[in-house]
Amino acid sequence: MSATGTRVKDSGKSLHERTIECRENGYLLSGKKIGTGAFSKVYLGYATPNKISKNYKLANDLRSKNHNMVAIKIISINEAPLEYSKKFLHREIYALNATYRHPGVVQLYDMFRSLKRFYLILELALSGDLLEHINAVSHSKGSPGLSEEEARRLFKQIVNAVMHCHNNHIVHRDLKCENILLDEQGFVKLTDFGFANHYTDRSALMNTFCGSVAYTAPEILLSRKYNGEQADLWSLGVILYAMVTGKLPYHEKHPRKLVQLIRKELPFHHPVSSGCQDLIKKLLEWQPTARLPLDQVNTHQWMMPSMTGLLYKLRATRSDITHKNKALDKKLKDESTGCVTGHSGPGTPTRSSFRHTSLPERPQRTVVAPHYRPGASSAGCHRREPPQEKREEPPCPKPPLVSPCRLLMRPTQSQSTNTNRLFVTRPRPPFAPKPFHNLPNFRKPGSRQLHSPSGKLTAAPPTTF
């Protein structure tokens, strides 16, 4: 039997073993591979109803998703280095548990192991990774990179996810476009915590040299001790550069040569706004302590360009509401003064006519005495007439009560036709991105090539120095 036939037979036997091991633990493993890591493979799987009823995390999250699909990450103990199995795998599990319940971080539902493999049951993101999304959008619009509006929306979510990790004393140390997934609604999910680490002192330095070369900070490339949070800041700058330009900032995979390129001025081959360039340069500072902290990244001017438009809309809305309230007050005052409805006909007096024309006086009622009859008593002449019924005039309609706080009242659905109102409709989530599995020249994570000959952004493999 040839070597190829032996490998195919072993692969089929291994898949059968994995399927049985997953079924014994309450999961159905499909043959569809959805990701590949340095030491692992990720498959599409399904959680059984019995497993969902016994696992709180699965039940709580899959109930809102209306499906039972999961991602099953399988790590082969024989293929992975011993250091990874004993050190990095436990760090990954700890980091996923520490960052649980954040919408920007992929969720760890369950884990189990056999004699040959580790299994991690993870949240499924159906729309691929950020690298695929950048290449798909670049191909569809005919120019590299995302629009700055879309890049800003995604980058805000990435920054918030990384900030959540840092607040829980977790550094990722392998941030790159391939490790940022997109769900069916277009929201990001930070994943692959294989090189993550836990720390207690923010000023403590680390000495494990890991990550992907294209996204790695220069202090790590120079084999120096480094601060994990500041190294993540550098990777965020590379990610933002790749999002708005469609390419990596430096086309070099050798660490020493890459350091020489980093010392030069950062090139921008495509038009990028000055605010975005400023944010990228402040994240890609050579000195780690000079890089912009995450809290200042969120308040950077490029991250909040819509504030000016929001304030303009707020002023316009308040002005519009004020003018309408003045008109309504005037109308109510007219109705309460003259009992006049909105329209006046040719014979109907208007408010102006009431001002300049005096009302005619009510005619006085005259009483005619009856004729004198002989023999009638004098009391008959002074007989009191029966009182006549008073003719009641129709009451003037009362003006509707207007709350003095109506400026703060939320309009009803019928009042929400004006697009300038501050509260019209609730914001809808963005449309789900198109599938990207039919893209040309796409390389899955783990490829050794950083850039294709056509200049497209390609996957950067994880590297341990």
Catalytic residues: 174
Q: Say how many Å lie between the first and final Cα of the chain, rounded.
A: 39
CB 153 within 8 A of CB 182: no
- Nearest residue to 15 via CA among 76, 61, 68: 76
| Phi, then psi, of 27 in degrees rounded to 5 | -135, 145
Region of 64 on the Ramachandran plot (φ > 0 left; ψ -120 to 50 alpha; else beta) = alpha
Structure tokens at 269: 């081959």
CB 14 within 8 A of CB 79: no
Structure tokens at 315: 């002023």
Residue 129 DSSP class: B
- Quote the CA–CA distance of 41 and 345 in Å, as a whole number: 82
Q: What is the CB-side half-sphere exposure of residue 267 using CA atoms within 13 A? A: 9
> Where do runs of H (alpha helix) occur along 305-449?
306-338, 351-356, 378-381
Q: Are strands 117-122 and 108-113 parallel, antiparallel or unpaired?
A: antiparallel
| Phi, then psi, of 210 in degrees rounded to 5 | -140, 170
E strands, 13-168, in order: 27-36, 40-47, 69-76, 108-113, 117-122
Residue reference for tokens 């009362």: 398
CB 213 within 8 A of CB 170: no
Q: How far is CA 158 from CA 126, 144, 176, 297, in A?
A: 18, 21, 11, 11
CB count in 10 Å sphere of residue 172: 29
Structure tokens at 194: 């294989």
